[in-house]
Amino acid sequence: MRFGVGLWNLQTTAMMPRSSAAVYRDLVGEARELERLGYESLWLSEHHFFYDGYCPAVLSAAAVALAATSTLRVGTGMLLLPLQEPRRVARLAARLAEHSRGRFDLGVGLGYRPTEFDGKGLAMADRLRRSTAGLAALAEIAEPAGVAVVNGSATPKGMARAGARGQAIMLSGGNPLSLVRELAAAHREGWEQAGRPGGRRPRVIALRNIWLTESEAERAAVLAYQRASYVLYAGLGWSVRASGDTPEMDFRADLDRALAGAVGTTIIGGVDEVVDGLVATAEAGVDDVVLRVMIEGAPTGAVFDMLGRFAEQVAPQLETMEAAA
Binding site for another protein (CB under 8 A): 10, 12, 19-21, 23-25, 27-28, 48-57, 59-64, 66-68, 83-85, 87-88, 91-92, 95-96, 99, 114-115, 117-124
Neighbours of 316 (CB within 10 A): 10
* Angle formed at CA 145 by CA 140 and CA 151, multiple of 5 degrees: 65
Residue among 90 and 306 whose Cβ is closer to another protein: 90
**Least CB distance from residue 142 to another protein, whole Å?**
12
The smaller minimum CB distance to another protein, of residues 83 and 159, is found at 83
Closer residue to another protein (CB): 23 or 159 = 23
Q: What are phi and psi of 169, to 5 degrees?
A: -130, 155
Whichever of 12 and 243 has its CB closer to another protein, that residue is 12
Could you tell me the smallest distance in angstroms from the CB atom of residue 231 to another protein? 18
199: helix, coil or strand?
coil
Least separation in angstroms between CB 18 and another protein = 11
DSSP for residue 246 = B
Q: Could you give the CA distance from residue 41 to residue 31 in angstroms, rounded to a whole number?
A: 9
* Residue with smaller CB distance to another protein, 136 or 220: 136
Q: Least Å distance between CB 145 and another protein? A: 12
70 versus 215: smaller Cβ distance to another protein: 70
Least separation in angstroms between residue 210's CB and another protein is 28
Per DSSP, 37 falls in state H
Question: CB of 130: closest distance to another protein in angstroms?
Answer: 12
The identity of residue 238, as a single letter, is W
Shortest Cβ distance from residue 191 to another protein (Å)? Answer: 30
Q: Whole-angstrom Cα distance, residue 275 to residue 121?
A: 47
Find the DSSP H helices in the chain: 20-37, 58-67, 86-99, 114-119, 127-137, 156-164, 177-193, 216-236, 255-263, 271-283, 300-313
Q: Determine contact, residues 11/53, Cβ cutoff 8 Å.
A: yes
Nearer to another protein, 28 or 223 (CB): 28
Q: Which residues contact 122 (CB under 8 A, 6 or more apart)?
A: 82, 83, 130
* Of 46, 47, 96, the residue nearest 73 (C-alpha): 96
